[in-house]
Chains A and B, each alone.
Chain A
């Protein structure tokens, strides 16, 4: 056993030389680290990352399938042991969901009635792109996943990614056949969210542990959220649709709300990338000459959308409800619904100040 390495002459002659190479390499890697800190978006680094991502995709995809299979078998065995509790929990959950279903059906009926109104224009559809998780960064300080969909599939940087329960993260890199998701738990993750029932907007910041926190930088007074309130994406910034469920507030810490995420990173095998863009991002021919000359970018974007808006400036100004509409937490992003309603004035008067 201990015979190994007994002769200490091994490699002795080259010792000084290899030490120098080693030190050089250490210096080189720290220089690389600094340069990637200050130019992480440099095209060279980006290109290199995407190339490696694409190169690794076949290997990862090849092995991801058997791993998923083994896991499902192992998971099944585990399920046998706690099948009774699961059954009980599922039954109560089922009962609860039934109530929700009733409510949802009622709401759907109301909604179809509203949709039949000529004035209604639906918010832009978010197109989903399904992708399998082929890689995790099993790393203490970088929380990311790799999925097997790339730019040709319509994946682009910034898009939101959800699993069957809630928001997972956002796309940060896209290769030709694979993309990287920055998870919400990563220390560099920032996602605009709002707290339902509390009229609070904030930024969800990753904390490099299991639970990210919302920092409320904008409000001067202490934020009055409560445990158990739901957190949804706010849609600010325009890439993530409004209202994607994120998690539940579990505690307050240093004025920030700590979130228990709905998404289950350890079980997410199939995720859905949301290809969503505001209608205003599409180039518009040239309507609305004097539609609304204000500065507020979101609202001017909304005003520039479809032809029907051109007729709008004549509508009553109604400045007050704009604030109320913004506070309305469950309503979709104002700008997405905005280009509607020429006829009934009190419904959506928030296009202009």
Chain B
């Protein structure tokens, strides 16, 4: 492998988590309407942020998380800075607990994700309630986080394979 193709390979490896996060955001903007709009679309970027903050923080720098959140703001039409704040606070908290999660069983990590999602939901709810100056109902965000938590093991397993086989070979 020449040096140049190697460089491209390294770069694309490094960019993969960011791209996955961006794909997650675009998926959120699609009119998927699972089960006739009853099931909310899972917050895939939150899974991406959580996963790589634990297993490969070098691959998902804060700038990438900011970018992912900002794109989500633009596409959802919410106030700019909302989702960067939610994702970055999640990243900060998860990064501080990283030593605990490393090497743990997956169900422990899943439980950790439940707490992370609850924290993210709280930040989201608080910021939006302050911005609209009303106490917003919690139902919508509860179900969306529930959907995200439900699909977490699936995506976590997929990301684990990807991370082990591709991303860490550098």
A residues sitting closer than 8 Å to B (CB atoms) are: 1-6, 8, 10-11, 14, 18-19, 21-26, 28-37, 40, 45, 48-49, 52-53, 56, 59-60, 63-64, 67-68, 71, 75, 133-142, 144-146, 172-173, 180, 182, 187-188, 207-209, 265-267, 269
Contacts and interface: CB of A to CB of B under 8 A. Distances in A.
B165 to A, nearest CB: 11
Contacts of A60: 26, 29-30
A11 B30 contact: no
Given A25-B62, A33-B131, 20 more contacts: A1-B160, A4-B164, A5-B101, A10-B58, A22-B92, A32-B80, A37-B131, A60-B26, A67-B31, A68-B31, A136-B29, A136-B30, A137-B29, A137-B75, A138-B32, A138-B41, A140-B121, A141-B124, A209-B140, A265-B37
Contact of B55 (A5, A133, A266): A5
B102 interface: yes
B74 A48 contact: yes
B71 to A, nearest CB: 7
A64 B27 CA distance: 11
Interface in B67-126: 69, 71, 74-82, 84-85, 88-89, 91-92, 95, 99, 101-106, 121, 124-125
B36 to A, nearest CB: 5
Contacts of A8: 99, 102
Nearest to A33: B81
A146 B26 CA distance: 12
Contact of B81 (A10, A23, A29, A59): A29
B163 interface: yes
A45 B134 contact: no
Contact of A141 (B65, B78, B91): B78
A16 to B, nearest CB: 12
Given A138-B28, A266-B33, A18 B62 contact: yes
B154 to A, nearest CB: 15
A328 B30 CA distance: 43
B14 interface: no
Contacts, number: 182
A266 B36 contact: yes
A22 B31 contact: no
B19 interface: no
Interface of B: 26, 28-33, 36-38, 40-41, 54-58, 61-63, 65-66, 69, 71, 74-82, 84-85, 88-89, 91-92, 95, 99, 101-106, 121, 124-125, 127-128, 131-132, 134, 136-137, 139-141, 144, 160, 163-164
Contacts of A173: 77
Given A4-B164, A135-B75, A11 B137 contact: no
Given A25-B84, A142-B76, A56 B26 contact: yes
A283 B37 CA distance: 44
B31 A135 contact: yes
16 contacts: A4-B55, A4-B163, A11-B57, A28-B66, A28-B84, A37-B79, A40-B79, A48-B80, A56-B74, A71-B33, A136-B29, A137-B77, A138-B40, A140-B121, A146-B29, A269-B31
A15 to B, nearest CB: 8
A48 B82 CA distance: 16
A188 B160 CA distance: 40
A146 B28 CA distance: 12
Contact of B106 (A1, A32, A139): A1
Given A4-B160, A67-B32, A266 B37 contact: yes
Contacts of A37: 79, 131
Given A6-B102, A139-B28, A22 B137 contact: no
Contacts of B78: 137, 139, 141-142
B103 A2 contact: yes
- Closest A-B pairs by Cβ, 7 of them: A266-B37, A32-B81, A33-B81, A140-B140, A29-B84, A140-B141, A137-B76
Contact of A29 (B31, B66, B105, B125): B66
A323 B40 CA distance: 47
A135 B163 contact: no
B71 A52 contact: yes
Contacts of A52: 71, 74-75
A145 B140 contact: no
B95 A22 contact: yes
B55 A33 contact: no
A45 B41 CA distance: 27
A4 B137 CA distance: 39
Contacts of B56: 10-11
Nearest to A187: B132
B156 to A, nearest CB: 11
A207 to B, nearest CB: 7
